[in-house]
Structure formats: structure tokens, C-alpha cells
Amino acid sequence: MDYRRIQLFLAAARRGSLTEAAAELEISQPALSKSIKALEKSLGVRLLERGRFGVTPTPYGEALLAHGSAMESELRNAVSEIDALKGATRGHVLLGCGPTEATRLLPMALLRLMKTHPELKVSVLYGLNESLMPWVKQGEVDFALSSVPSRPTDPDLVHDHLFVESGAVVARAGHPLARRRSVSPAELTQQRWVLPRRRELERLAFDDLFIANQLIPPEAAVETTSTVLMKSLVMQSDILTFIPRELIHWEEKAGQLVQLKVSGSDWVRTVGMTRRRRGSLSPAGRLLVDALKTVSEHFK
């Protein structure tokens, strides 16, 4: 099977557009289309459904996308390994990162790496776990930095724990409840909330806080995957949110946001790195992992 044709297919499947993929690959659209059709013919199946608004992978295409991405990741790491053996100093890491980890942990690690290995290149894809874990499994990123489960839940993934942090009920600095020495969960049921979606770990922990006190969890006025929107709404109103404490580190320093002192709130989450069990890390990837482990000692 022609690996170049697989690379062209992967680009088209990810972009969802032959035009955009061709521009990215710097080839003509007819050449790209011809290559994908040749690949489909060699496999005896249709890989892409072509429509008015672009292309989408068929079930056969999804299978090739998953395995092809993993193969692409391994080849990228192999090239990096060869460069290291030759004494080359360049390298490239593809990293997936959650919003909390992008606040301080990753910037501190990147600044450390820039000082010791300024020639390395790092590309960071930002997202929540629902996006990050598939990216890791499919080889679209070398590893992910985000919250990790206390026990393995996916046999294809390996989690390395870094540190544990707590969740926080967050309000603007001038909120009426911010002056209170203690706030009960019952009082929080009367507030308006901007919250993560229901399947996120933080939202589950939020609901558990009220259920543990035999209360019905408040409904969210706004649900979002954007931590920027959460913090913006809280800073500009009396709306509250529930997010990891680390996410408001800089806003607390600036006197914009505060953690409310809520009785019975003891939720914690584990921050760590997730990689494919059958995958490997390039020398550049291992350098970034070492930097993250060193920096994470300041968070314990």
C-alpha cells in the first residue's frame, strides 16, 4: 500500500474538504482526488463520502483514519529518534492540553524547555478530555496533558499522574457571598450558574456536592466548554461557576475572582499525562515530559 496516498487521505479526512487539504499539501485538487480514488480502488472500499459541503469518512475511512494516524505518529517519532542518534538537535512534539493545564503548568514547562533546548518545536492542540483522548488514541498528538482517572478506564491508554488539585466555587471579587466565612450548599441552590456540560468531571463533582447534602443540584443558566466564557460571565455578574482552582490563579492574583468558602466541598482531580500504550515517545517528547514532571513538583 502506498504510504503517500494514505497521507493524502488523512489530510482530506481531517480537513473535511478536498480543496483545503490540497492547499495544505500544496498539490492540485484533481491530483488529490485521483490519489484517494486509487487508494479506494486498491482497498476495494469507499473511504470518503463526497457531498456539497465537503467530505466525510465512511466507516472504512474512519478505520483507516485511526490506524493511519497512529502509524503517522510512530513514523514521526522514528524520524526524531534517528535525528537524535545522528546527534541532531532539532525535534517536534505534538501535544494535547486541557484548559487548566494551559494556565501555568504547561507555560512553565515550555519556558524551561526553551532555555535548555531552544531548537525544539512544540505544537499544542487545546481541548477538553472528550477531544483529547481520541486524539491520543488516533496518534494525532504524542500525548495529552489533562485530568486523568485514578484507575485505568481504557486499555489502549496509559496515564502518568503528576499532582492532585481541588475544585472551587468561583465568584467575582465583589460578590455578596465573597465576604462570608462559610457558605452552605443550600444557599448555593438559589444562585445562577455557568457550568461545564453534564458529562465533564467538574459537572459531575458539582452535582455530587449537592446530592451529598440531600439537595437537588441547580440547573445551569449557561453550559459551555469554554473556560474563558465561564470566567468572563462570573467577572461581569453575580453568576457563579465551579472549576478547578488552578484555572483562576492569575485572576485571583489580580483581585478579580475569588474562591467561595463552601462547606462540604472536597472535590479533587488528578492532573497527568496520557499516551498510547502501544506508542512511543520521541526524544523531543521525552524532554517535554521531563520538564513537565520537574515543574509539577511546584504544584504538590
Give mean pLDDT in consecutive 10-residue pieces for the chain, a chain of 300 residues: 77 86 83 86 87 86 78 67 58 90 95 91 89 88 89 86 92 94 93 90 87 93 93 96 94 96 83 88 89 92
Tell me what pLDDT residue 88 has. Answer: 46
174 and 124 within one domain: no
278 and 219 within one domain: no
170 and 158 within one domain: no
Domain end, chosen from 28, 63, 98, is at 63
Tell me what pLDDT residue 170 has. Answer: 96
170 and 146 within one domain: no
98 and 14 within one domain: no
185 and 146 within one domain: no
121 and 56 within one domain: no
181 and 141 within one domain: no
Domain end, chosen from 63, 84, 111, is at 63
Tell me what pLDDT residue 80 has. Answer: 64
User: Where in the sequence is the domain holding 279, given as residue range(s)?
Assistant: 68-163+270-299
The domain that holds 15 is classified in CATH as 1.10.10.10
Tell me what pLDDT residue 284 has. Answer: 86
Domain count, the chain: 3
Tell me what pLDDT residue 31 has. Answer: 85
The pairing of beta strand 157-172 with beta strand 268-276: antiparallel
Write the DSSP assignment of the chain as a string of letters. Answer: --HHHHHHHHHHHHHT-HHHHHHHHTS-HHHHHHHHHHHHHHHTS--EEEETTEEEE-HHHHHHHHHHHHHHHHHHHHHHHHHHHTT---EEEEEEE-TTTTTTHHHHHHHHHHHH-TTEEEEEEE--HHHHHHHHHTTSSSEEEEEE-SS---TTEEEEEEEEEEEEEEEETT-GGGG-S-B-HHHHTTS-BEE--TTSHHHHHHHHHHHTTT-PPPPPSEE-S-HHHHHHHHHTSS-BEEEEGGGGHHHHHTTSEEE--BTT---EEEEEEEEETT----HHHHHHHHHHHHHHGGG-
169 and 261 within one domain: yes
193 and 117 within one domain: no
125 and 80 within one domain: yes
The domain that holds 130 is classified in CATH as 3.40.190.10
Tell me what pLDDT residue 77 has. Answer: 65
120 and 239 within one domain: no
Tell me what pLDDT residue 182 has. Answer: 92
Domain end, chosen from 36, 63, 90, is at 63
